[in-house]
Amino acid sequence: MMNGYGGKILRIDLSSGRFEVQPTPERMAREFLGGRGFAAKLLYDGLDPATEPLSPANMVIIASGPLSGVFLPGSGKITFAAKSPATGGYGDSNMGGHLASELKYAGYDAVVISGAAEKPSYISIDDDRVEIREASKYWGRGAIETEKALLDDLGEDFRVATIGPAGEKLVRFACVSHDFGRQAGRTGIGAVLGSKKVKAIAVRGSKAIPLADPKGVLAKGREMFEACFAKPGFREWTPYGTAGVTDWVNEVGAFPTRNFQSSFFEGHKEINGQRLKEKILVTDKGCFGCPIPCGKYSRTKGIRGSGREKESVYVEGPEYETIALLGGNCGIRDIEDVAYLNHVCDELGLDTISGGNVAAFAIECYERGILNRESVGRDLAFGDAGSVAYLLEKIARREGIGDTLADGVRIAAARFGGGSERFAIHVKGLEVSGYEPRWAPAMMLSYMTADVGAHHNRSWAITHDVATGRDSLEGKADKVIELQHTRPLFDVLGVCRLQWVEIGFDLHYYEEIFPLVTGWKYTWKDLLTVSERVWNLTRAFNIKHIDGFGRSYDYPPARFSEDPVPDGPAKGKCIPREKLDLLLDEYYAKRGWSKDGRPTEATLRRLGLENVAEDLVEQGRL
């Protein structure tokens, strides 16, 4: 028995219909801790580089962390991971809600799903009882609709994760949905589940998590909750959640606008946190054990051109990223329209970040004459929510133009041609999150070097750019590396980072509670070393799985280095290629990577990844 852990790994082979339960290896737990760490280790060891992301050979890993489900703030985070159909490399996405704790209570630290079922199926995990059940009656239905139906059928004490029609149709940015509006949104894990014909995973658990010092955990957990409540940010941030940052991002010239053509959106005041609160908010909604519920449960009207004008719908959100990508980036200036598009994505099972990017890309293609009324099936325009709703529906069902757009902007641009590669806004195949980086070198470097592609959750460095000078490159590589170790550590431990990021919760608490939970005396530096190990392992995964992977994969789209921002606070700014190279040179050197962005053998060995070094050398990839 390991304290802090469920103690078991559940391996399910859908092709044979069999499952196996193994003890969680202590060495893996000590070296990779859990969550994203387990996902990276299991995928690196388990996947052949020839594995196609949407083939039965791919695996989906669902992993909680050693702090998941424990009495401390925000301990409800879980990782979904697979070889990504968006990038062809390592992919994962982190999700809140109640699945992480439930899985631990059922006794599992990770679920490994491989193979593919013949018929639509769902996986039921009820403590030790595991079943693969027929799911034909749920297939084709919305993600949230399916969650409700399964809870009606199984009982409300189950926790359910689902995919929507987009996952079934293998849309490369399909998400996994849970708790009526929480998503593992990024990197297309929903499509991987769809390729395996898995509509849902239902979990119910009744076991206790063993703790090294239960009384100590109770006392420290209480102290942590009280410290959260005492932070000024608790009252200032919670009423708006992440939507509260909208005006600030616009004021600093970093708000994605009309497919990242600009970084300033004149309509931002109509889609900010204040508008959300005034016009559509019903109540706050939080994840397991969260003292600062950032979820904003809202009610909104249908939109013109959606075919569902008279509908009134509930949605969790929109949170900031959705506001940025389905709002400003699509030129939409009505919070109700943004919320409705959020609802459309949620039911279809689409990531709102990539969804907003892809829709905006299609609209720009239309405005530039690369697409037309005939190829699209209707007119498209920025600012028209009907255009966006139409595109999202087409994408999720792979109908008409939607069939190409469903593969993401990188592949769509290669098919459309006409110079559209210049404004296909992605890195490594993953569409860019809600911070325009042309006047933010640290944020730019964060996108460039993130293992999964351009995702802000690895390193949210925009505040550092604003605080330290946005024309200077000095110190940016150091900060990005620091953030790339600190932020992913939360995914490894299975807890939410927003208590720290948004209200300034002190990091030393995690160092203090970790040994009380596990009995292991890790210093903060030890924990960061685990994070660095995982960072290098996912880079190694990309090197192993993507032919020619290296520096060339780290560059952003040409728009970010060649087209100065046309208006707003960042007017005239972009980061030319020579400066991007300076950033990469410094970053690689500080990480102990080669000029081409590959970890050296010495770096891998220093981090205890000897087997990875040997593997890559044997394959001629180092």
Rounded distance between C-alpha atoms, residue 442 and residue 439, angstroms: 9
285/621 with CB nearer ligand SF4: 285
- Smallest separation, CB 132 to ligand SF4 (Å): 30
Site for ligand SF4 in 487-546 (CB under 6 A): 496, 498
Q: How many residues bind ligand SF4 (CB under 6 A)?
A: 12
- Candidates 294, 392, 489, 574: give the one binding ligand SF4 (CB under 6 A): 294
3/459 with CB nearer ligand SF4: 459
Burial zone of 433 (CB within 10 Å; 0-12 exposed, 13-18 middle, 19+ buried): buried
- The residue among 16, 80, 37 whose CA lies nearest residue 24 is 37
Which region, judged by CB under 6 A, interacts with ligand SF4, from 148-156, 285-293, 421-429, 472-480?
Answer: 285-293
- Candidates 280, 290, 442, 616: give the one binding ligand SF4 (CB under 6 A): 290
Site for ligand SF4 in 149-168 (CB under 6 A): none
- Candidates 190, 295, 318, 434: give the one binding ligand SF4 (CB under 6 A): 295
58/298 with CB nearer ligand SF4: 298
Q: Report the number of secondary-structure helices (H) and strands (E) in the chain.
A: 27, 17
Which H or E element spans position 542? Answer: helix 524-545
Which residues are CB-contacts of 7 (< 8 A; sequence separation ≥ 6)?
1, 23, 24, 107, 109, 210
Which region, judged by CB under 6 A, interacts with ligand SF4, from 33-41, 116-124, 264-272, 288-296?
Answer: 288-296
- Smallest separation, CB 322 to ligand SF4 (Å): 13
Which value, in Å, is the radius of gyration of the alpha carbons in the chain? Answer: 22
Rounded distance between C-alpha atoms, residue 510 and residue 303, angstroms: 45
Contact yes or no for 175/431 (Cβ under 8 A): no
- Smallest separation, CB 224 to ligand SF4 (Å): 13
Structure tokens at 485: 């170790």
- Smallest separation, CB 219 to ligand SF4 (Å): 22
Site for ligand SF4 in 36-75 (CB under 6 A): 74
96 binds ligand SF4 (CB under 6 A): yes
265/510 with CB nearer ligand SF4: 510
- Smallest separation, CB 92 to ligand SF4 (Å): 16
121/298 with CB nearer ligand SF4: 298
9/160 with CB nearer ligand SF4: 160
- Candidates 267, 293, 400, 608: give the one binding ligand SF4 (CB under 6 A): 293
Which region, judged by CB under 6 A, interacts with ligand SF4, from 272-280, 289-297, 361-369, 424-432?
Answer: 289-297
286 binds ligand SF4 (CB under 6 A): yes
73/302 with CB nearer ligand SF4: 73
Site for ligand SF4 in 344-363 (CB under 6 A): none
The strand pair at 281-285 and 295-301 is best described as antiparallel
Structure tokens at 197: 């014909």
Site string for ligand SF4, 316-335 (x = CB under 6 A): --------------------
The strand pair at 176-178 and 182-184 is best described as antiparallel
Rounded distance between C-alpha atoms, residue 528 and residue 488, angstroms: 9
171/294 with CB nearer ligand SF4: 294
100 binds ligand SF4 (CB under 6 A): no
37/286 with CB nearer ligand SF4: 286
Structure tokens at 41: 């280790």
Structure tokens at 232: 């000024």
Q: SS3 for 518?
A: helix
Rounded distance between C-alpha atoms, residue 9 and residue 220, angstroms: 28
- The residue among 116, 164, 117 whose CA lies nearest residue 138 is 164
- The residue among 78, 38, 77, 42 whose CA lies nearest residue 59 is 42
- Smallest separation, CB 434 to ligand SF4 (Å): 16
Which region, judged by CB under 6 A, interacts with ligand SF4, from 115-123, 189-197, 293-301, 458-466?
Answer: 293-301
The shares of helix, strand and coil residues in the chain, as percent rounded to the nearest 5, are 45, 15, 40
- Smallest separation, CB 400 to ligand SF4 (Å): 36
292 binds ligand SF4 (CB under 6 A): yes
Q: What DSSP string runs through 132-197?
A: EEE-TTTTTS-HHHHHHHHHHHH-TTSEEEE--HHHHTT-TTB-EEETTTEEE-GGGHHHHHHHTT
184 binds ligand SF4 (CB under 6 A): no
- Candidates 166, 245, 287, 413: give the one binding ligand SF4 (CB under 6 A): 287
- Smallest separation, CB 588 to ligand SF4 (Å): 32
- Smallest separation, CB 77 to ligand SF4 (Å): 7
Which region, judged by CB under 6 A, interacts with ligand SF4, from 83-91, 121-129, 287-295, 512-520?
Answer: 287-295
Structure tokens at 325: 């990508």
216 binds ligand SF4 (CB under 6 A): no
Structure tokens at 283: 């109540």
- The residue among 165, 91, 193 whose CA lies nearest residue 541 is 91
Rounded distance between C-alpha atoms, residue 560 and residue 435, angstroms: 12
Q: Which residue type sits at 506?
A: D
85 binds ligand SF4 (CB under 6 A): no
315/498 with CB nearer ligand SF4: 498
Rounded distance between C-alpha atoms, residue 2 and residue 38, angstroms: 15
Alpha-carbon dihedral of residues 465, 470, 475, 478, nearest 10 degrees?
40
Residues near ligand SF4 (CB under 6 A):
74, 76, 96, 286-287, 290, 292-295, 496, 498
